[in-house]
């Protein structure tokens, strides 16, 4: 019913954690696809996790082209993208398997070394939760929403420039699905742990590292994408 696509670019040091969280689910997905978009830092994974399907790109083709290509490889009813730097709660797939709508969203727990960055990026939208930040996404977009594969293929991943500079490709997908009348439901649970770490920002702009407070110096890095 559900295909999970794990997307990695320079997350080879974190990807095993993500994979472990999926393999330890109370209900397994139908298929797991892992793609390394040209960083070449994930070749150790097939030996550890041979039950997963892998795609290793010779060069980086960018988030939009990468996601679009991976979407075309999916045949299950639903598809779910997750960044290799994030991980799932153990019962996430079991809960998501109850989907009867075109899109199913759920809440996020923001964690990681630079988790406090979320306080300046979306002020007032999170609450403290066991030392992390709980981000309610009820009826709202995020990069790891579950959506009906056939509808996603009809639209495809494209670039949307929210601020004129930084692509918001899965916002475009969300907008177009809603325009086509997609039905949406939500799970009021924090199912994804969204890791905020220095690699999120350095790979986009190595000249603008985070400050000591975990704030972003360069506003171009303010985004919410599945890969970051």
- The answer to whether residue 228 is domain-embedded is no
Q: Is there a domain that residue 226 lies in?
A: no
Q: Is residue 227 part of a domain?
A: no
CA-to-CA distance for 169 and 142, rounded, in angstroms?
11
Distance CA 71, CA 59 (A): 19
Q: What average pLDDT score do residues 22-41 get?
A: 97
* pLDDT beyond 60 at 33: yes
Q: How far is C-alpha 43 from the chain's CA centre?
A: 21
Domain-located, residue 168: yes
Question: What is the number of alpha carbons within 13 Å of residue 159 lying toward its C-beta?
Answer: 11
d(CA 144, CA 195): 13
Q: What is the pLDDT of residues 123-157, one digit of tens each?
A: 999 999 999 999 999 999 899 999 999 999 999 99
Per the structure, how many domains does the chain have?
1
Q: Which residue has the higher pLDDT, 169 or 109?
A: 109
Confidence at residue 164, expressed as pLDDT on a 0 to 100 scale: 58
What is the predicted pLDDT for the residue at 161?
A: 76
Q: What is the CATH number of the domain that holds 207?
A: 3.90.550.10
pLDDT in tens, 187-215: 999 999 999 988 766 554 444 444 333 33
DSSP string, 178-208: HHTT--EEEEEEEEEEEE--HHHHHTT-TT-
**Residue 137 in domain:** yes
Rounded CA gap, 211 and 181, in Å? 42
Model confidence, pTM = 0.86
Place 160 in a pLDDT band, splitting at 50, 70 and 90.
confident
CB atoms within 10 A of CB 128: 8
Average pLDDT in the chain: 88
Give pLDDT, residue 201: 60
Cα separation, 226 vs 228, whole angstroms: 5
Q: What is the pLDDT of residues 85-128, one digit of tens each?
A: 999 999 999 999 999 999 999 999 999 999 999 999 899 999 99
Q: How far apart are CA 87 and CA 52, in angstroms?
A: 16
Range(s) of the domain holding residue 49: 2-221
């Amino acid at each position: 019913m559900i295909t999970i696509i794990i997307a990695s670019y320079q997350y080879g040091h974190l990807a095993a954690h993500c994979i472990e969280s999926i393999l330890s689910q109370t209900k397994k997905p139908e298929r797991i696809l892992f793609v390394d978009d040209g960083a070449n830092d994930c070749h150790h994974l097939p030996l550890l996790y041979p039950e997963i399907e892998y795609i290793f790109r010779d060069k980086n083709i960018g988030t939009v082209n990468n996601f679009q290509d991976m979407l075309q490889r999916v045949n299950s009813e639903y598809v779910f993208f997750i960044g290799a730097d994030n991980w799932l709660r153990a019962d996430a797939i079991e809960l998501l398997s109850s989907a009867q709508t075109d899109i199913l969203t759920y809440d996020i727990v923001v964690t990681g070394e630079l988790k406090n960055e979320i306080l300046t990026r979306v002020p007032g939208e999170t609450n403290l939760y066991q030392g992390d930040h709980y981000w309610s996404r009820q009826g709202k977009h995020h990069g790891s929403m579950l959506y009906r594969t056939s509808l996603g293929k009809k639209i495809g991943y494209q670039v949307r420039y929210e601020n004129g500079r930084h692509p918001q490709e899965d916002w475009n997908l969300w907008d177009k699905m809603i325009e086509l009348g997609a039905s949406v439901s939500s799970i009021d649970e924090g199912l994804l742990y969204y890791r905020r770490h220095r690699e999120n920002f350095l790979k986009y702009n190595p000249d603008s590292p985070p400050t000591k407070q975990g704030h972003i110096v360069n506003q171009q890095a303010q985004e919410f994408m599945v890969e970051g």
